[in-house]
Structure 1
Amino acid sequence: MYSRASRRLIPVFTKPFQSKSYEGLLKRVTMASSQPKRPKVVTVDNMNPHVRTMEYAVRGPIVARATEIEKELAAGQKKPFPDVVKCNIGDAHALGQQPITFIRQVIALATYPELLNSDQFPEDAKKRARRVIGGCKGGSVGSYSDSVGIEPIRQDIAAFIERRDGHPSNPNEIMLCAGASEGIRSLLKCMVSGEGKNRSGVMIPIPQYPLYSASLAEFGCEQIGYYMDEATGWSLGKPELKRSITEARKHCNPVAIVVINPGNPTGQVLSLDNIKDIIQFAYEEKLFIIADEVYQENIYAKGAKFHSFKKVLREMGPEYQTMELASFYSTSKGFMGECGLRGGYQEAINIDPDVFAMLKKLISAKLCPTVLGQIAMECTVNPPTQGEPSYDQFIKEKKIVLDALAEKAKLVAETFDAVEGVSCNEVMGAMYAFPRIHLPKKAIEKAKSIGMQPDAFYCMQFLEEKGVCVVAGSGFCQVEGTYHFRMTILPSVEKIKDVMQRFREFHSKFMEEYKD
């Protein structure tokens, strides 16, 4: 029992307690409670204001509530649904995808080299493991690697890019990173300078992935949004790019343009002509191109094809060949789904040598990316080839993952688009659907009355009533007056069908309750 006379936690007992040890404890507690509290050195008022400003919607309050509901279910509380389905983030293995055997074999062998003597592992996996171990200091993956990554892996990444694009790649222009996110953040950090109208600005697509808005806010860099056209399948036109940069130049200095292809959260795949238009625009406006290409393996729509920005640039005119371009890839997406290993790389071409040296200095302060993530990247860019013992199983497992994603991409988009009050473009690639919800005025007013964005209110109700966690479109930015949410397509086909049934039931009830 505790005294309610004050907020101090002073024990109160209903009968005498004679223990000397207790008397000493009580004395210490009483003395401590009577001491004036030392003020905190760092408070929300004097901390870094940029950190205070930044937001990251995919791990926001809706997700926090989803975790609470999971605990409530585990504690025996009754809910109108059997489980929580977290469709908020592209975490493949968390949603049931099985690891690719070859990747895990190479990691196991490199981590515990005694397994190289075992006949339980195929020779091609051993070959990759020996290559990685040979690049590690002391022959151990427990040692720091070079800040830019293990040299043999960078060489294999360069070879992968050459096979993909048909153009040379230089290992010295490649840096491994702890997931693409960390590489992107390091590059953005190098671009920040100036104040007022001279402050650096970076163009990002709207809707955007919150990594960009959060990082730009943290670094004190101006966010310049350019809007993709939902009516034409989230395509991109030069007039909108021109409008965006013209407005931005009134209050900042645009230095770069970010392009996410395939798109997150929108799932579009840019056409070759679209990519050429963007490169031409960046050339005319003297912008650095940041190509987020982490979903390049995730293409589902008929006729859609991934074109890397580097390949397209190399095949344009000679005037484009000195343009600055950084492109990113990751082991977290694709068919691999190894989010927790944090493997990624960036290839940066035509960078000023002095700036490149500064970028390497910046990443060297973090010592090195995780070596296990680097090994996962090695397996991604240097997979089994035809004739090697692991090839058939590797291709089979890869096909199972990508075929299932293609099936779910079609299922989800068609289901959303068939529901009254919802519209959804084709999920051409990546791992998400981004349906638009046409909310009644009464629902919008209700949300605003409790201080919530209307789509966030809708998503929170979906979670509370049906146990499905999605992310409100307002967390990704969107055209004023429109409302969306992002939902990953990663759960199993059966679970996705269950989620869509829950959605239909929820949406019908919600629209009936708030109809105008």
Structure 2
Amino acid sequence: MANICRTLNAQFEKSIRQWKLEIERKIKEGQQPNFKEVVNISYGDFHAMGIKYITFVRQILAASAYPELLKSGQLPVDIEQRIVQFFKDWGKQSIGSYSEDYGIGFVRRNVARFIKKRDGGIACDPENIYITNGATNGLQLILRLFDYEEGPSQTGVLVPVPSYTRFRIMVDVAGGVNVPYYLNEERSWALDMTELKRAVKCAREHCSPKILYFINPGNPTGQVMSRRIMEDIIKFAAEEKLLLVADEVYQDQVFGDNCSFLSFKKVLFEMESVYRDNVELVSVNSVSKAYLGECGFRCGYMETVNIDPEATTQLRRLMTSSCHPSIIGQIVLDILMKPPQPGEPSYENFNKEKTFIMNTLARNSKLAVQTINALPGLRCNPIQASMFCYTRIELPSKALGQCKVLDLYPSLFYCMQLLDETGIVLDPGTGFGENDGRDYIRFCTLVPPEKFDYALEKIKHFHLKFMHKYS
């Protein structure tokens, strides 16, 4: 066990997968007496966790891939009409064809209409819309616009802690410097302007901060930014000449009381012209989240605002030289931008399935907070949005001593013990950035209710047993 744990400490993501597979092998061979299945709620792939796909999406995809289905008479008429119109507007007849470099023209126009409606009528130019192979691909393209020199002129990227793990890796790969700024846990993970200013000031001693990245609504923290904070960020970006990169992939997963999503573009365009006409902004969205959860189709979009023409030219060169966006992904994106409307044959079932997913998310998130905060040594803030419960964990001194013996992060030690005894897989907080020696765990809340209740009950019993053992 000690050797396995040391391996996990060095490569915990890979090793947890291996340990999970090992436990599943033992279950098949009848060597695992404690439980009969592994329940993985560690990450944000809610289809993999058992949430059913939206039927309308799969009907569209099936008939788009195999048009013979349109002759079967088994599909609602609006499905047939939409597919026929898609290929007519596109001008091609098969999803096996290449896309245009920046995405299919009419899909980009539909994205622009969606953004305009979302933002209360603020204009959106389709020429500023770029279809990408997922939001991650969009973020990679933006990072590639910068030169990464060595020394004090090296590009610095301000990144929230805790935050999306892969973005920090992307910054490292691009050759930039990750500049952490710490969200305020005591204020429900709000962005603190004093902390942001501190981070920039300290960073200027060894690099040149040029990008301010943030996630709204938050991952893994589930908070929604207020308009006041957003305005302060925009003013700060103007003063420091920073490019704002807004990761807004959870914009359709807001369910908290008295809070709603505001895009950074909307807030920017409702400010004075000195900000509205000058602050550079890129925002990204994706079909992987929202109520669709279609992670495997790898499609999203980014919108650019006030970007320098030279940078726009370079961005288009990068997109032309990289892989064309997926056609099948763009079909899914088009549905997210233009879902069935009341009165259409597919609307009733579409709305029913969408409502179930959103209600499940809200219900599970509330239950998670109640359960976690009733347990000793665990604490989490109210969840307003996204699909994760980010929980602070404080282990007894005896458990911390065992972590030192095994050379393990406490959160990883805890998650390994939980997996070994219950079959429940959580995400150790070590992947979301260091935070003054504090330890966290994260788990997904968009899980079928019966499976989620089972997992929470297992976590509860394990935790009480764990705390008693090490107290």
Quickly name the TM-score band, shorter chain normalised. over 0.9
Give, in angstroms, the shift of residue 137 of structure 1.
Answer: 6.0
- Residue 69 of structure 1: aligned partner: 23
Partner SS for 1:427 = coil
Alignment of 1:370-381 (within 5 A): 370-381=326-337
Measured at CA, do residues 255 and 58 of structure 1 come closer, stay the same or move farther in structure 2, by a change above 3 Å?
farther
Give, in angstroms, the shift of residue 135 of structure 1.
Answer: 4.8
- Residue 222 of structure 1: aligned partner: 177
Alignment of 1:257-276 (within 5 A): 257-276=212-231
Matched, 1:510 2:466: yes
Q: How many angstroms apart in 1 are the aligned matches of 2:171 and 2:414? A: 28
Measured at CA, do residues 150 and 71 of structure 1 come closer, stay the same or move farther in structure 2, by a change above 3 Å?
farther
Q: How many angstroms apart in 1 are the aligned matches of 2:353 and 2:83? A: 20
* Paired amino acid for 1:287: L
Say which of 96, 107, 116 aligns to 1:142.
Answer: 96
* Alpha-carbon contact 1:141-1:371 (below 8 Å) kept: yes
Give, in angstroms, the shift of residue 116 of structure 1.
Answer: 2.9
Matched, 1:86 2:35: no
Measured at CA, do residues 57 and 107 of structure 1 come closer, stay the same or move farther in structure 2, by a change above 3 Å?
farther
Say which of 52, 58, 61 aligns to 1:107.
Answer: 61
Give, in angstroms, the shift of residue 392 of structure 1.
Answer: 1.6
- Residue 31 of structure 1: aligned partner: none
Alignment of 1:29-428 (within 5 A): 59-136=13-90, 138-165=92-119, 166-321=121-276, 322-428=278-384
Q: How many angstroms apart in 1 are the aligned matches of 2:447 and 2:415? A: 18
Give, in angstroms, the shift of residue 119 of structure 1.
Answer: 2.7
* Alpha-carbon contact 1:200-1:254 (below 8 Å) kept: yes
Give, in angstroms, the shift of residue 100 of structure 1.
Answer: 0.8
Matched, 1:431 2:363: no
Say which of 420, 423, 431 aligns to 1:467.
Answer: 423
Give, in angstroms, the shift of residue 120 of structure 1.
Answer: 2.0
Structure 1: 5+ residue runs without aligned partners? 1-54
Measured at CA, do residues 457 and 67 of structure 1 come closer, stay the same or move farther in structure 2, by a change above 3 Å?
same
Give, in angstroms, the shift of residue 365 of structure 1.
Answer: 2.6
Structure 1-normalised TM-score? 0.86
Give, in angstroms, the shift of residue 370 of structure 1.
Answer: 1.5
Measured at CA, do residues 270 and 85 of structure 1 come closer, stay the same or move farther in structure 2, by a change above 3 Å?
same
Give, in angstroms, the shift of residue 342 of structure 1.
Answer: 1.1
Residues 243-268 of structure 1 deviation map (CA, whole Å, 9 limit, x = unaligned): 11111111111111111011101111
Measured at CA, do residues 198 and 459 of structure 1 come closer, stay the same or move farther in structure 2, by a change above 3 Å?
same
Give, in angstroms, the shift of residue 96 of structure 1.
Answer: 0.8
Residues 71-101 of structure 1 deviation map (CA, whole Å, 9 limit, x = unaligned): 3322332241221111111101111111111
Structure 2-normalised TM-score? 0.94
Give, in angstroms, the shift of residue 380 of structure 1.
Answer: 0.4
Give, in angstroms, the shift of residue 57 of structure 1.
Answer: 8.4
Say which of 474, 493, 499 aligns to 2:455.
Answer: 499
Q: How many angstroms apart in 2 are the aligned matches of 1:132 and 1:354? A: 33
Q: How many angstroms apart in 2 are the aligned matches of 1:137 and 1:353? A: 30
Q: How many angstroms apart in 2 are the aligned matches of 1:115 and 1:266? A: 43
RMSD across aligned positions (CA): 1.7
* Paired amino acid for 1:507: H
Structure showing greater Rg: 1
Q: How many angstroms apart in 2 are the aligned matches of 1:504 and 1:396? A: 32
Q: How many angstroms apart in 2 are the aligned matches of 1:485 and 1:410? A: 17
* Alpha-carbon contact 1:462-1:469 (below 8 Å) kept: yes
Percent of matched pairs sharing the same residue: 40
Say which of 426, 433, 437 aligns to 1:477.
Answer: 433
* Alpha-carbon contact 1:409-1:427 (below 8 Å) kept: yes
Partner SS for 2:48 = helix
* Alpha-carbon contact 2:90-2:106 (below 8 Å) kept: no
Give, in angstroms, the shift of residue 338 of structure 1.
Answer: 0.7
Give, in angstroms, the shift of residue 512 of structure 1.
Answer: 2.0
Q: How many angstroms apart in 1 are the aligned matches of 2:10 and 2:359? A: 30
